[in-house]
Amino acid sequence: MKQFVGIGYRKDFGEDFFQSEILQPAFIEFAPENWMNIGGYWKKVLKRLADNYSITAHGLSLSIGSPDELDWEFLKNIKQFLSDYDISVYSEHLSYSKCDNAHLFDLLPIPFRYDAVNHVVDRIKRVQDFLERKMAIEIVSYYTPVAAEMSEIEFINSIVLQSGCDLLLDVNNVYVNAFNHNYDAKEFISQLPLRNVSYIHMAGHEKVSEDLIIDTHGQAIIDPVYELFDFTINKLETPVPVLLERDFNIPEMEELASEMNKLEQICSKAWSHVYAS
């Protein structure tokens, strides 16, 4: 069993996941929207995995940056899901996916603006109060800024520090954003409130043109992102869970295992001193 590295469970994994001993994840992540209030086969799968692994939850539809009111009924279901499966880590995206009373099922960029900071901070606090726990907010990949009046790093840091939430650091997203918006990824990471990082995501992406990378989660992680990951975790004071995300083009389990093993090796090397002491 791995010590640090988990995997996001996808229905496409099917029975292979159960029959294979190859992955040995430290934990398994579920998107609660796809798993709550269900029964039948998929509920059995969820229970079987929850009985054998620690579970984390990574939400898709909270829409923390939306102008629309928070959906309290939805949050009630989230709270129940977290309780039912004894989930300690709940994360969501720093974006909006619902607007003008309609869900869009993708992560739109919040304008980097002072009033948006206040708005998001207030909503994170209300969500955390309701859930009676901290949540981790993920830095999302974005392809265009919208009506920005501050930098991305200022926007993120203000929200994290003012709301007191945790940070989900998706290292691939930082790589993608740095490429797409022409900044230095390591410098960006160095400026984040790294003490608030409670969770890391890693994934692959696709370069679609000379100046644009899309965060697809459909390819293997590339070496420069592993390198950025190595750089990042060496700056953290304490170990945090690390997740491999793969949503499309699901490869053979051996291929996923190879990526997870590589991540685990980097973690073990960086964090061995914590356990040695």
Residues making contact with another protein (CB under 8 A) = 33-34, 36-44, 60-62, 65-67, 71, 74, 96, 98-106, 108-111, 113, 115-116, 118-119, 122, 143-148, 180, 212, 214
Cβ of residue 122: shortest distance to another protein, in angstroms?
6
Q: Which is nearer to another protein, 112 or 229 (CB)?
A: 112
Cα-to-chain-centroid distance, residue 147:
25
Helices vs. strands in the chain: H and E counts, helices first: 10, 12
Nearest distance, CB of residue 137 and another protein, angstroms: 17
Least distance to another protein, CB of residue 87, Å: 17
Paired residues of 212 in beta bridges? 209
Return the number of the residue (217 or 262) whose C-beta is nearest another protein. 217
Q: Kindly give the pairing relationship between strand 166-170 and strand 136-138.
A: parallel
Q: Which is nearer to another protein, 146 or 274 (CB)?
A: 146
Measured from the CB atom, is 22 or 60 closer to another protein?
60
Residue with Cβ nearer another protein (111 or 239): 111
* Min CB(5)–another protein separation in Å: 27
Rounded least distance, CB 123 to another protein, Å: 9
